[in-house]
């Protein structure tokens, strides 16, 4: 139920921002998160605040293999800022990014039990707040369609490296 509330909040934020008279893109993609060591899906938007400055809210869900008998997954909400740098006229742009991250995770942990003489697995669940730093690129190959790729590092108590790529549609 908490996940549904988080998704609804992000959609409401994006919908509220769309009243701004700016260039807006929405899209989705696939990614990899090293914290859960698994693939995931990403939904993101891009709102041009000023020329070459973009706000980019997004949500993602990553699922990984089992660790100490516990299924690993991570849900995150990101709000990043990007500064677009033209590389090839209006076709290819690269950007540094920085922003905020909220993650809700479920993973495995262990402890050593001297009496049982072994390692015992247990669930490790929680939430973390962090800062994103990274870089990305966007290639505009049609009037309203572009592809993107990003690599970012989230600095938090559950630090993670995330690599994503996908497609954006300009509204």
The beta strand positions in the chain, using DSSP E, are 24-33, 38-50, 53-67, 70-83, 85-88, 92-113, 118-140, 145-155, 160-170
pLDDT in tens, 11-63: 666 665 545 557 899 999 999 998 888 899 999 999 999 888 999 999 999 99
CB 51 within 8 A of CB 81: no
Q: In the chain, how many domains are there?
A: 1
Residue 102 has pLDDT above 60, yes or no: yes
Residue 117 has a pLDDT of 59
Mean pLDDT of 116-128: 69
The domain of 105 spans: 2-170
Say which CATH number the domain at 114 has.
2.40.160.20
């Amino acid at each position: 139920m908490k996940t549904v509330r988080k998704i609804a909040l992000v959609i409401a934020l994006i919908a509220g921002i769309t009243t701004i008279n700016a260039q807006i893109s929405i899209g989705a993609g696939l990614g990899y998160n090293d914290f859960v060591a698994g693939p995931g899906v990403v939904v993101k938007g891009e709102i041009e605040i000023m020329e070459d400055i973009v706000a980019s809210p997004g949500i993602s869900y990553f699922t990984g293999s089992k660790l100490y008998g516990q299924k690993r997954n991570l849900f995150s909400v990101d709000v990043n800022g990007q500064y677009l740098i033209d590389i090839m006229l209006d076709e290819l742009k690269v950007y540094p990014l920085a922003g905020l991250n909220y993650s809700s995770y479920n993973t495995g942990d262990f402890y050593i039990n001297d009496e049982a003489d072994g390692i015992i697995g247990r669930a490790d669940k929680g939430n973390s707040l962090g800062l994103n730093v990274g870089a990305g690129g966007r290639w505009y190959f049609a009037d309203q369609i572009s592809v993107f790729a990003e690599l970012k590092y989230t600095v938090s108590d559950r630090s993670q490296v995330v690599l994503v790529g996908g497609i954006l549609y300009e509204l």
